[in-house]
Amino acid sequence: MSGFETVVVESDILILGGGMAACGAAVEAAYWAKKNGLSIALVDKAAMDRSGAVAMGLSALNQYVGIAAGDNTAEDYVRYVRQDLMGVAREDLVFDIARHVDSTVHLFEKWGLPIWKDAEGKYVHEGRWQLMINGESYKIIVAEAAKNALKELGDDNIYERVFITGPIVEDGKCKGAVGFSTRENKFYVFKAKATLAAMGGAVHVFKPRSTGEGFGRSWYPPFNTGSSAHFTIAAGAEMTCQEVRFIPIRFKDAYGPVGAWFLLFKSRATNAFGGEYMVERRPELQKWAPYGLVKPIPANLRNWLGMLDIFDGKGPIYMRTEEAIGRLAEQYKDDKRAYRKKMRELENEAWEDFLDMTISQAHLWAATNTKPEERSSEIAACEPYFIGSHSGASGAWISGSADLQTDETRDEYCWGPYGLTTVPSLFAAGDASGASSHKFSSGSHAEGRMVGKSLVQYVLEHNEAPVVSDATIESLKAEIFHPMEVFEAHKGDTTDPNVNPAYIRPRQFMYRLQKIMDEYAGGVSAAFATNKVMLDRAMELLAFLREDNDKLAAESLYELERAWENRHRLAQAEAHVRTLLFREETRWPGYYFRSDTPKMDDDSWKVFVNCKKDPASDDWEMIKRPIYSIID
């Protein structure tokens, strides 16, 4: 494409993404890079101040262990996470993040994030691991620290509004990344000695509940579109837990989170007839022993019990906000003023929870005259998301730290510094790294910091400038802008630009992907159930969709971005379906149910299922990796 200037950026370290993990990596890598005279470039598709999952802010830090105060140990956290993931967790990774996350939280506080404190000056917990924050400006605070750290190394090392399309891979090595500006006619080539993929998880791979006028609403941010998964898969990295999607229960239609209601307000959830599924359905948990029998009950099983009520026609399910608020204010009933004050305080907390994190939920309450102190709100299971940082586990298979390995784990879990994928010089963190769930925002930042240090170590040990052939660059450039050429060449073929025999527009491509995934791979309309026949059909239809990859058309730079987002979603979808097919059991009911293998089978399937695509042949390999326990 002659109209697009090629901009080549060379740095020692390349950080892709500007979210929680990337900001953590920037802070830590900048510190060590300065000492060693290394350079860093950071690239975000948006503006770091409000990019990624924390764009709107958050109302809690979901991972805080409280080691110094003696509240919990990192070992306790490992027990919690492996239980919540039905036994499937890389304990070395979870432990590593748990032992470092508190210091990240203390940095947040130092940088100005208001964390709730009680009268004695102690942090206010939402639950055992979660701290309440006034987090409307959380992302701005975290981004500011990252930007300040990078500024120490020079002025022009942050590239905002540059969309990364994929890796530069030669000789089986990641030599950087390519992308394009979403505002200017510029093609970017980033060459680096070590690259971090931290571009978040994936939304809108499955058809969302919010369609039509509500399209765009989702729990996870619509701008995280599977770029991390695509990037690592395209580089030839081994991926893990691609079947472990996350289905959150959220306030219906505006996706407000439930954590504060269940944990802080201690609310119950009941069905249309007042029944409490967590109580009435308890016997079901026996089927999922030993994981179903320990507290807290894993997130997918909590979902499952509610879903059983829905399948029995007992919906909707309600969050009993009025009951919870009433109970918390009960003890003030005898003193009118104190009661009014307490009620006002609880109302404020209820609204602020959403205003800090999911503003549209507050809008929906206002629009439907919902006063949470008077009336329950519906909650529902969302469409599936792919995120390695929350209660899902999908991501790249990464090396753990050497000091945490045992004789048994060393060969399987450690081949370089923390965070290195199976591709030389390519690292992953946050949503991009797998099998270490429940890191959330704070743990993702902590993991980013750990990888930031690894990136510097890696460059010091492999200090060779990457040489990339011109042919590789030119073919990547042609591939990136191809959708614009398709549009230009064929836009005159019909009178309606949306209906054209020569091309498919990104939105149409996305709808097709979502329909396949929704109906055949266990989305909302299939009640989260699937089986081998359905998955085989999904594979067949995905193959047809892949054939149309070359027919994507883009009228503008923004539409080019949409085209690439959907290519990234497709990579995530394919890894997911292949892994659903491979694991012949049901381990996470409430996330998905394989009706042809409806039981959990620890003997055959208490393993990690990994997969890998050969970048040259496009052939996929499915791999079973052992789960080793390092904590009793």
Q: What is the DSSP string of 439-457?
A: -HHHHHHHHHHHHHHHHHH
Nearest distance from residue 330's CB to ligand AMP, in Å?
21
Choice between 127 and 214, CB closer to ligand AMP: 127
Q: What is the DSSP string of 41-106?
A: EEEESS-GGG-STTTT--SEE-----TTTTS--HHHHHHHHHHHTTT---HHHHHHHHHHHHHHHH
- Confirm whether 352 is a catalytic residue: no
Report CA 41 to chain centroid distance, whole Å.
23
Q: What is the DSSP string of 307-365?
A: HHHHHTT-PPEEE-HHHHHHHHHGGGTTSHHHHHHHHHHHHHHHHHHHHTT-HHHHHHH
- Confirm whether 454 is a catalytic residue: no
In sequence order, which residues have a C-beta less than 8 Å from that of residue 305 and are 6 or more positions away? 277, 278, 281, 282, 284, 285, 590
- Residue ranges in 603-632 that form contacts with ligand AMP under rule CB under 6 A: none
> If binding means CB under 6 A, how many residues of this protein chain bind ligand SFD?
43
Q: Does 257 engage in binding with ligand AMP (CB under 6 A)?
A: yes
Catalytic residue among 11, 39, 62, 228: 62
- Confirm whether 390 is a catalytic residue: yes
- Confirm whether 250 is a catalytic residue: yes
| Whole-number Å distance between alpha carbons of 393 and 384 | 12
Nearest distance from residue 180's CB to ligand SFD, in Å?
10
Catalytic residue among 28, 84, 102, 126: 126
Q: Does 130 engage in binding with ligand AMP (CB under 6 A)?
A: yes
- Residue ranges in 383-422 that form contacts with ligand AMP under rule CB under 6 A: 391
| Whole-number Å distance between alpha carbons of 147 and 155 | 10
- Confirm whether 441 is a catalytic residue: yes
- Confirm whether 36 is a catalytic residue: no
User: Could you give the dihedral angle defined by the CA atoms of residues 466, 400, 410 and 580, in that order, rounded to the nearest 10 degrees?
Assistant: -100
Catalytic residue among 100, 204, 320, 390: 390
Q: Does 276 engage in binding with ligand AMP (CB under 6 A)?
A: no
Contact residue for ligand SFD among 27, 88, 101, 198 (CB under 6 A): 198
- Residue ranges in 504-563 that form contacts with ligand SFD under rule CB under 6 A: none
Q: Does 17 engage in binding with ligand SFD (CB under 6 A)?
A: yes
* The token pair that represents 628 in the structure block: 């080793």
| Whole-number Å distance between alpha carbons of 437 and 444 | 10
Q: Which does 526 bind (CB under 5 to 8 A by kind): ligand AMP, ligand SFD, none?
A: none
Choice between 385 and 509, CB closer to ligand AMP: 385
Q: Choose among 202, 616, 236, 160: nearest CA to 426.
A: 236
Segment near ligand AMP (CB under 6 A), from 208-216, 253-261, 538-546, 623-631?
A: 253-261
Q: Return phi, psi of residue 106, to 5°.
A: -65, -35
Name residue 585's amino acid: E
Nearest distance from residue 277's CB to ligand AMP, in Å?
12
- Structural contact between residues 224 and 46, judged by C-beta atoms closer than 8 angstroms: no
| Whole-number Å distance between alpha carbons of 368 and 549 | 42
C-beta atoms surrounding 35 within 10 Å: 9
In sequence order, which residues have a C-beta less than 8 Å from that of residue 475 and are 6 or more positions away? none
- Confirm whether 363 is a catalytic residue: no
| Whole-number Å distance between alpha carbons of 168 and 570 | 19
Nearest distance from residue 489's CB to ligand SFD, in Å?
26
Segment near ligand AMP (CB under 6 A), from 139-147, 254-262, 284-292, 336-344?
A: 254-262
Q: Does 221 engage in binding with ligand SFD (CB under 6 A)?
A: yes
Q: Does 20 engage in binding with ligand SFD (CB under 6 A)?
A: yes
Nearest distance from residue 249's CB to ligand AMP, in Å?
7
- As to burial, measured by CB atoms within 10 angstroms (0-12 exposed, 13-18 middle, 19+ buried), residue 186 is middle
Q: Which does 302 bind (CB under 5 to 8 A by kind): ligand SFD, ligand AMP, none?
A: ligand AMP
Q: Mask of contacts with ligand SFD, 55-94, x by CB under 6 A?
A: ---xxxxx--------------------------------
Phi-psi region for residue 274, left (φ > 0), alpha (ψ -120 to 50) or beta? left
| Whole-number Å distance between alpha carbons of 573 and 628 | 28
Q: Choose among 28, 53, 44: nearest CA to 388.
A: 53
Q: Does 452 engage in binding with ligand SFD (CB under 6 A)?
A: no
Choice between 303 and 421, CB closer to ligand AMP: 303
Catalytic residue among 91, 353, 519, 561: 353
* The token pair that represents 106 in the structure block: 């203390």
Contact residue for ligand AMP among 252, 302, 439, 612 (CB under 6 A): 302
Q: Does 263 engage in binding with ligand AMP (CB under 6 A)?
A: yes
Q: Which does 262 bind (CB under 5 to 8 A by kind): ligand SFD, ligand AMP, none?
A: ligand AMP
Binding residues vs ligand SFD (CB under 6 A): 16-22, 43-46, 51-54, 58-62, 163-164, 198-200, 219-221, 223-224, 227, 257, 259, 357-358, 389-390, 430-431, 440-442, 444
Binding residues vs ligand AMP (CB under 6 A): 62, 127, 130, 248, 257-259, 262-263, 296, 299, 302, 391
Give the residue numbers marked as catalytic: 62, 126, 219, 250, 353, 390, 441
